Amino acid sequence: MKSERERMDIIAAYNDLGSFRGAAAICGVDHKTVKRAVLGQPAQSPASTARRHNYDVVADIVAARVAKTSARITAKRLLPAATAAGYTGSARNFRRLVARAKRAWRADNHRGRRPGVWAPGEVLAIDWGSEGSLHIFCAVMAFSRWRFVRFATDERAPTTFEMLARCFEALGAVPRWCWPTGWAA
């Protein structure tokens, strides 16, 4: 197998001469080697084998325990069982194995998004936004997605209550719940 420097020399000789045999004579290699280097074909090398890891002996045990606990078990709790089963590696490497097993389990067992189910007139979601010095009050009825948007000069409590009163007037009713969506709960 040729080094990168030798390959570059072979390619340069071929570019100068234009023939595989001429480049081979200058570089002292076979014309088939020149052809492989020029066409980008890899040299013949033994087939590589899959790399073995020190945690391969306990990977099945970890996967089973992760599945049994719905990916809630920690590597700290699994390490004694893995050591008893023949694991001799480090705790850090074992944590990586457990994290990989948890990711795989969660990818296969995603519970999905649970959408909210709203009744008409039940929930009004409110939030404030701002663009420069302009403040924007937004309210959305969760069931019908009816929207109420108004502009204000500040986001203080009296302004918020005034905006809610205007929203209720425009809506013609008062919802059962009013949820502030953008604020920390």
Is the pLDDT assigned to residue 88 strictly greater than 70? yes
Please report the pLDDT score of residue 142 as a whole number: 87
Q: What's the pTM?
A: 0.41
What is the mean predicted confidence (pLDDT) over 120-134? 90
The token duo for 92 is 């850090």
**Average predicted confidence (pLDDT) for the chain:** 88
CA atoms within 13 A on the CB side of 10: 23
Q: So what's the pLDDT on residue 146?
A: 92
Q: What is the DSSP letter of 10?
A: H
Report residue 183's pLDDT band, with 50, 70 and 90 as the boundaries. Answer: low
Helix/strand/coil for 135: strand
Q: pLDDT band at residue 68, thresholds of 50, 70 and 90?
A: very high
Q: Is the pLDDT of residue 16 over 80?
A: yes
Could you give the CA distance from residue 6 to residue 23 in angstroms, rounded to a whole number?
A: 12
Enumerate the H helices of the chain as residue ranges: 4-17, 20-27, 31-39, 59-68, 75-84, 91-108, 157-171
